Amino acid sequence: MSPWREGIARLRRYPSAVAGLAIIAALIATAVYTVIAIPYPQAQELWRGGERWQELPVNAGPVWADRLLGGDAPRTLTASSAAAETVEEAAYDGVRLNRTVLAVDYPYTEFPSEVTLFLEADFEQRRPFVRMRWRTPDGEVIPLGARRVGEQGRVSISQDRGLESRLGRAPQVGLFAEPGPAGTEERPEARPGRYELILETVHFERTSQLAAELVVYGQVHGLLGTDHERRDLAVALLWGTPVALAFGLLAAVGTTVTTLVIAAAGVWYGGWVDALIQRLTEINMILPLLPILVMVGTLYSTSIWLMLGVVVVLGIFSAGIKMYRAMLLPLREAGYIEAARAYGASNPRIILRYMVPRILPVLLPTFVTLIPTYVFLEASLAVLGLGDPVLPTWGKVLHDAQAQSALYHGHYYWVLEPAALLMLTGLGFAMLGFALDRVFNPRLRSV
Amino acid sequence: MSPRPAQAAAPGEPLLAARDLQTHFELRRWGFLRTGSVRAVDGVDLTLDAGEAAAVVGESGCGKSSLARTLLGLHRPTGGEARFEGQPLARLRGAALKAYRARVGYVQQDPYGALPPFMDVRRALEEPLIVHGVAPRAERERRIEAALEEVGLAPAGEVWGKYPHQLSGGQQQRVVIARALILRPRMILADEPVSMLDASVRVEILELLRRIQREHRLALLYITHDLSTVRHYTDRVLVMYGGRIVEQAPVEALLERPQHPYAEALLAALADPDPANARRERPVPGGEPPSLAAPPPGCRFHPRCPYAMAGTCDVYDPPALGVGEGHTAACWLRA
Ligand SMILES: Nc1ncnc2c1ncn2[C@@H]1O[C@H](COP(=O)(O)OP(=O)(O)OP(=O)(O)O)[C@@H](O)[C@H]1O
Ligand code: SF4
Ligand SMILES: [Mg+2]
């Protein structure tokens, strides 16, 4: 059995290794699923935001969290004219009067966060005219005004100042409240029941059409909630997984492998090569990584691939070189390397095939625990506002949350979700790394 | 495996010839200040014919391994010359040096250290073949199998996938020997090949080396500190002392009529019934081995020599003097 396979077999005896591997496997599965389900261009497109999110509430928490805490926060309800019946009440001389009723069955006692009516008219020259009325389950009818509708119209009912002053409170509260004089209750409650939006449309052309959709925004959404731009956090949190893993892995591989090979070359060639590598390392060790990244990000570009490149380049002559050097130095005298020279192995072959593989098992634990540090680095950069401009990442979610004072406004989910994923990543790799350390570093094994 | 036809070397010319070969290691302080040198090999003359087995005998630290490494081209000689098949080793570069490395096999003292711990037997034996561009893979595997069979590790399938730590010391050394043979060399340098093995397997390994050497008409330079192991396994003995060869003779002649007082002392220790005296670490003749950084003037053996003649031995360096058929000794007593 090869030393590697033996090590893996021994690894199975450590529960922490198994748990760590399970976490890592779950993260990898999520990453793979995400990349397949939401291809990269689509993810970028989605995260740019805009219209596709218009039916999602702003800053809605996850549904399960609310239910878990015993809440009954409303979800978003919609009613579309496509599903409702449109009755033509009168027609003369090319002018038609249509009546559409959009009904929502509202089961909650808490109020919606917003109420918006989206309109879309199809006409030749003369825009249709629509009059809107609201009917509560108790039969009370509240006029919501009237307007001409262009190709795209949007009536923010909950933003209607006039309506607000007429109702004496925010429209999304007033329209759903128990009947009675405003402001008498301590904490007003919504009246569950069937609410209707009555649209009376006047078409001035024989063929003109009007499509309408009423959206009663909830306070919670989906598994992960939404942000200030109504974007579903699931997109960012899902896509953050492959980005984080790729960044961490590539940075760890890039720095470890190059550092190891350079350290081995220094040890093998010795003399001025070794001295040069040592001096470069010492200079590099006093260069601060984060400020340099901030500088590059501010002056040049915050592309995640550029950041990765800078991290790897600055990581090549890192303190690791000194450690690897100490481990590699005894190999210079190793009999099998002398034998390799004697049968004619070239210097690069000795470095890559005889020196590097010898200390790889010792390095594996360090390597595994290095991955999450780079994941955290990427997140830190994003929190500092140096996240990738287009890719959704965990760090960028945290950045948005911070910029929007999420904690101050009580949107805990916005901070906790990406933080939990970061911690889970750190935990998974750390648990595996520690177990690997015990398996591959004989000095620790007896402890 | 078939022996290669002898190349280049003119008939009658030895396969390997060293004249006044020197390998000095510079001692430096802070990496650049020269503070002296260790004269590990200091004027060695030797010849080795194709198909001949010779032993180099000497106490610990006399420069045996340094001599072997110099002959392997692992150390650049700092003076003198060694020729292999008539070609000066110091001038070999690039492809010629690589070709030379294929023609010389190396068997080290510590078989466990000589095998990469992360390679299985197949891989360890494949390395030299890959380095020398032996292709295709099937050909490499055929040669690995043949080499393993040659060293008595048949069937090859049994050790093929094993790692060094899963083999016994004797098996490890057999694998090392197989690796030394796999490029079909003309010469084997075996540096104390049995001193780290259990006494029970030493004879097996020495017999194996001798058999292979005879069958393939290889030149063998067997380096040892133990004169008791030369009799059946070599044709000629070179006695090394303080970086030099002080006596050369056919094995029987040396064991029966040693001409140099140092060789005599080594033999006397062999005859000593106290086995502790045959042990390696104890300097066989009384006194300290000479310092290679500051060798004694005149005959290097004079501080320990019972016959030392004041005014001669401590002033003049004795040359190698012929004392019989193929027998030389560097001692003023033979002048
Ligand atoms: N690379 C080197 N640099 C400096 N000194 C060396 C080097 N290699 C060997 N020496 C010195 O040269 C001397 C001879 O060493 P060498 O290993 O050749 O002796 P040896 O006869 O093989 O001894 P042993 O029986 O212990 O193997 C020793 O004093 C050793 O310290
Ligand atoms: S030359 Fe003198 S000191 Fe040297 S071995 Fe001969 S007798 Fe002894
Ligand atoms: Mg030695």
Give tens-digit pLDDT for A179-189. Answer: 766 556 667 88
pLDDT at A159: 87
Number of Cβ atoms within 10 Å of the Cβ of B12: 6
Fold of A3-45+232-440: MetI-like fold (1.10.3720)
Give the mean pLDDT of B170-197: 93
The Å distance, Cα B287 to ligand 1 centre, comes to: 19
- Please say whether the dihedral angle defined by the alpha carbons of residues B62, B294, B327 and B81, taken in this order, is positive or negative: positive
Residue of B27, B37, B39, B64 to test ligand 1 pocket, by largest number of atoms within 8 Å of CB: B64
Question: What is the reported pTM?
Answer: 0.79
Q: Are B297 and B44 in contact (CB under 8 A)?
A: no
Count of other CB atoms within 10 angstroms of residue B195: 16
Look up residue B155 and give its two tokens: 């069937």
- CATH code for the domain defined by A74-217: 2.60.120
Domain ranges, ordered by start, for chain B: 16-334
CA–CA gap between residue B96 and residue B88 (Å, rounded): 11
Task: Sort out which chain B residues have CB atoms less than 8 A from A362's CB and list them.
Answer: none
Helix (H, G, I), strand (E, B) or coil at B319: coil
Considering only CB atoms, which chain A residues are within 8 Å of B97? 344
User: What are the backbone dihedrals phi and psi of residue B292, each rounded to the nearest 5 degrees, phi first?
Assistant: -85, -15
For B292-329, the pLDDT digits (tens) are: 888 888 899 988 888 888 888 888 889 988 888 889 99
What is the mean predicted confidence (pLDDT) over A163-182?
Answer: 82
CA dihedral A106, A108, A111, A116 (to 10 degrees): -30
The pLDDT of residue A389: 81
Q: How far is the CA of A145 from the centre of ligand 2 (A)?
A: 127
B284 has a pLDDT exceeding 90: no
Q: Does B114 touch chain A (CB under 8 A)?
A: yes
Q: Is the CB of residue B62 below 6 angstroms from any atom belonging to ligand 1?
A: yes
CA of B60 to the centre of ligand 3 (A): 7
Give the helix/strand (H/E) hosting A350.
none
Q: What is the pLDDT of residue A52?
A: 81
pLDDT at B70: 93
Q: Range with the lowest mean pLDDT among A210-214, A218-222, B231-235, B282-286?
A: B282-286
Angle at CA of residue A322, ends A316 and A324, nearest 5°: 80
Give the Cα separation of A358 and A341 in Å (integer). Answer: 16
Amino acid identity at A216: V
Is it the case that residue B1 has pLDDT exceeding 80?
no
- Asked if B106 has any chain A CB less than 8 Å from its own CB, the reply is yes
Bridge partner list, A80: A213
- Nearest residue to B223 via CA among B329, B24, B68, B11: B68
Q: What is the DSSP letter of A376?
A: H
| pLDDT of amino acid A445 | 46
pLDDT digits (tens, 9 = 90+) for B111-124: 999 999 889 999 99
Helix, strand or coil for residue B308?
coil
* B102 shares contact with chain A (CB less than 8 Å): yes
Distance (Å, rounded) from C-alpha A230 to C-alpha A222?
Answer: 12
Ligand 2 atom having least distance to the Cα of B314? 3
How close A276 gets to chain B, by Cα (Å)?
14
With H, G, I as helix, E, B as strand and everything else as coil, classify residue A130.
strand
Mean pLDDT value of segment A229-244:
90
What is the DSSP code (8-state) at residue A352?
I
CB distance B299 to ligand 2 below 6 Å: yes
Cβ(B55)–Cβ(B238) below 8 Å: yes
Tokens describing residue B159 = 């050790």
The number of C-alpha atoms within 13 Å of A242 and in the hemisphere containing its C-beta is: 18
In sequence order, which ranges of chain B are alpha helices (DSSP H)? 64-72, 94-103, 111-114, 121-131, 137-150, 156-159, 169-181, 199-215, 251-256, 261-271
- Complex ipTM tops 0.90: no
Percent of chain B whose pLDDT exceeds 90: 48
Under 8 Å between Cβ of A212 and A81: yes
Instruction: Domain ranges for chain A, please list them.
Output: 3-45+232-440, 74-217
Residues 6+ apart with CB under 8 A from A210: A81, A98, A100, A119, A120, A121, A122, A128, A130, A149, A199, A201, A203
Contact A209, A130 (CB under 8 A): no
B225 alpha-carbon distance from chain centroid: 10
- Tell if the CB–CB gap between A339 and B104 is shorter than 8 Å: no
Q: Return the DSSP state at A252.
A: H
pLDDT at residue B147, as a whole number: 92
Q: Is the peptide bond before A179 cis (omega within 30 degrees of 0)?
A: no
**pLDDT digits 0-9 by tens, A312-363:** 888 888 888 888 899 899 998 899 999 999 999 999 999 999 999 888 888 8
pLDDT, one tens digit per residue, over B231-281 is: 889 999 999 998 999 999 999 999 998 999 999 888 888 776 555 555 544
Distance separating alpha carbons of residues A371 and A246, to the nearest angstrom: 9
CATH topology of domain B16-334: Rossmann fold (3.40.50)
Contact predicate A308/A247, CB 8 Å? yes
CB atoms within 10 A of CB B192: 23
Alpha-carbon span A211 to B210, nearest angstrom:
100
Window 14-73 of B, Cβ < 8 Å to A: 69, 72-73
Residue type, A125: Q
- CA–CA dist B108, B112 (Å, integer): 10
CA distance B22 to B19: 9
**For a pocket test of ligand 2, which of B260, B262, B305 has the largest count of ligand atoms closer than 8 A to its C-beta?**
B305
Task: State how beta strands B16-29 and B327-329 pair.
Answer: unpaired
Among residues of chain A, what percentage have pLDDT more than 90?
31
| pLDDT score of A184 | 60
Residue B147, both tokens: 């080499």
Question: Reduced to 3 states, what is the DSSP secondary structure of residue B106?
Answer: strand
Confidence of residue A63 (pLDDT cuts 50, 70, 90): confident
B303: closest CA of chain A, how far (Å): 33
Q: Which chain A residues contact residue B183 at CB under 8 A?
A: 343
As a whole number of angstroms, the distance between CA B67 and CA B243 comes to 8
Q: Quick one: how far is CA A220 from the chain centroid?
A: 17
**Closest ligand 1 atom, residue B292 Cα:** 29
Query: Are B128 and A343 inside 8 Å of each other by CB?
Result: yes
**Residue B2: its pLDDT value, please?**
43
| CB of A351 closer than 8 Å to CB of A267 | no
pLDDT value of position B6: 43
Rg (Cα) of chain A, in Å, rounded? 32
pLDDT at A210: 87
Q: Model confidence over A115-166: pLDDT tens digits? A: 999 988 888 888 889 999 999 998 888 988 888 888 888 888 888 888 888 8
Binding site membership of B333 for ligand 2 (Cβ less than 6 Å): yes
Which residue type, as a one-letter code, is found at position B209? L
Q: Cα A182 to the chain's mean position, in Å?
A: 41
Which residues in chain B touch residue A357, judged by CB atoms under 8 angstroms apart? 116, 118
Q: Does A413 touch chain B (CB under 8 A)?
A: no
Q: How far is CA B65 from the centre of its chain?
A: 7
**CB A343 to CB B72 under 8 A?**
no
Is-contact A72 A272, C-beta < 8 A?
A: no
d(CA A19, CA A429): 10
* Predicted local distance difference test score (pLDDT) of residue B4: 47
| B143 close to B196: Cβ distance less than 8 angstroms | no
**Which residues of chain B neighbour A3 with C-beta distances below 8 Å?**
117-118, 163
Nearest CA in chain A to B161: A1
| DSSP label at residue B301 | T
Q: Give me the count of residues in chain A.
A: 447
CA B57: distance to chain centroid? 9
By most ligand atoms within 8 Å of CB, the mutation choice from B259, B260, B299, B316 for ligand 2 is B299
CB contact under 8 A, A342 and B127: no
Nearest CA to ligand 2 atom 6: B331
What chain A residue is nearest to B96 in terms of C-alpha separation? A344
The mean per-residue pLDDT over the stretch A35-46 comes to 89
Instruction: State residue A34's pLDDT score.
Output: 93
Q: How far apart are CA B98 and CA B93, in angstroms?
A: 8
Q: CA end-to-end span of chain A, whole Å?
A: 25
| Confidence category of residue B103, pLDDT binned at 50, 70, 90 | very high
Is the pLDDT at A194 greater than 50? The verdict is yes
CA separation for the pair A407, A404 (Å, rounded): 9
Position A5, amino acid: R
